[in-house]
Amino acid sequence: MQRYKLKATKKYEQKFLNGYPLIAKESLENINTLKDEGAIIDIIDNKNHFIARAYYGRQNKGYGWVLTQNKKEQIDLNFFKQKIKSAIDYRANFYKSKDTNAFRVFNGEGDGVGGLSIDYFNGYYLITWYSIGIYKFKDTILNALKSLVEFKGIYQKKRFDSKGQYLEDSSDFLLGQEAPEPLIVKENGVNLAIYLDDGAMVGVFLDQKNVRKKIRDKYAKGKDILNTFSYTGAFSVYAALGGAKSTTSVDLAKRSLAKTKEQFEINNLSLKSNKIVVEDVFDYFKYAFKKGLKFDMVIADPPSFARSKKRTFSAKKDYTSLLKDIIKITNKSGVIVASTNAANFNMKTFKSFVEKAFKAESRKYKILESYSLPKDFRVSKNFLEGNYLKVLFIKVD
């Protein structure tokens, strides 16, 4: 395969020397000469000295990722073995845990290889490839993983195009045994139904494990809880297990009804006090305003961007107005759990959305706690923007 030698731009030379992992568009001179995805790039400085070794793979984020700053290190089976081994060691407590058997094993650049993630679901591994470039290393990475872990089966998701969209495949199953559908996993002692071969999403977002636990253990008891953008209702299930008086899960996707029912059923929870509503959240708000519905806790974890028939929602543009609606239907002394996985703004900006919304509604608030990614979603100290998750527990005064 082709190898490239490209010069770091002035602005990026020092960044790469300091360990910055992303190949941004403006980071290399003549970046447009890159053609073969998966090719190795040696990054050199002004005097042609080696700085770092990367691979070329196009994602929305950039042109690839630095893999090593060591000139002698080759990108081979041994390289990936070392990376995956240290990732596994870092999650030793997750592997040992009795009440959790679903977690992230390898988190992209946080574990030294951007564009690649590996999740563990009760004996099964799911590899996600975020570019054609990293997919070129498929056989090597698979061999590395196989040599290090015992597994029942291995699955993959291809998220190749520039927006990280999922590439529909005839099957996402790779090798070993096929997983049951659904595969029941445990997280904090809660049963969760996972589908490893049913489109882009498997049913649960593992990065919210600590937030779910907190809602169950500290906030839910005796409360009426609204879960907006509820997907398969994972937050609602935890809330119900924490003794919520009622939960209402709202999502516009039709599939959410059956999937949410299933999550309740596998935890032996009745649907009597747990309502599932298939509707646009913004229409549901109108209904709630009209009926004067109020909740003790409202959870909002919208997609960072979504287009429906009626409207587009962008977290960056629309979160403030979403919060304004939510404030109106939250009881006095109630709690809003505001969450976003949008990578295009940081916690400070997110807090400014909260400030604006409460100001506009002439209400006071207090931030009780905040969360970012859990330990298994390891973040590189040289790429803090990889910590995309922002969650605020806000008390409405």
Q: Which residues in this chain contact ligand SAH in the complex, by CB under 6 A?
A: 205, 208, 229-232, 234-235, 251-253, 256, 280-282, 301-303, 306, 308, 313
Indicate the residue among 96 and 309 with the shorter CB distance to ligand SAH. 309
Question: What distance in Å separates the CA atoms of residue 99 and residue 394, rounded to the nearest whole number?
Answer: 28
Element (H, E) at 210: helix 209-214
Closest separation in Å from C-beta 256 to ligand SAH? 6
Residue from 291, 205, 304 nearest 248 by CA: 291
Indicate the residue among 9 and 320 with the shorter CB distance to ligand SAH. 320
Reading across the β-sheet that carries 64-68, which strands appear in turn? Answer: 3-7, 40-44, 50-56, 64-68
Q: What is the DSSP string of 122-165?
A: TTEEEEEE-SHHHHTTHHHHHHHHHHH---SEEEEEE--STT--
Question: What distance in Å separates the CA atoms of residue 283 and residue 241, rounded to the nearest whole number?
Answer: 28
Closest separation in Å from C-beta 350 to ligand SAH? 16
Indicate the residue among 173 and 305 with the shorter CB distance to ligand SAH. 305
- Which CA distances in Å does 244 have to 38, 216, 240, 247, 248? 50, 8, 5, 7, 11
Closest separation in Å from C-beta 362 to ligand SAH? 26
Indicate the residue among 253 and 367 with the shorter CB distance to ligand SAH. 253
Q: Which residue has the tokens 């923007």?
A: 385
Closest separation in Å from C-beta 226 to ligand SAH? 12
Closest separation in Å from C-beta 158 to ligand SAH? 20
Indicate the residue among 59 and 260 with the shorter CB distance to ligand SAH. 260
Closest separation in Å from C-beta 227 to ligand SAH? 7
Element (H, E) at 315: helix 315-328
Indicate the residue among 339 and 380 with the shorter CB distance to ligand SAH. 339
Indicate the residue among 154 and 204 with the shorter CB distance to ligand SAH. 204
- Which CA distances in Å does 231 have to 16, 17, 190, 238, 241? 39, 42, 17, 14, 18
Q: Which residues pair with 253 in a beta bridge?
A: none
Question: What distance in Å separates the CA atoms of residue 238 and residue 251, rounded to the nearest whole number?
Answer: 17
Closest separation in Å from C-beta 320 to ligand SAH? 16
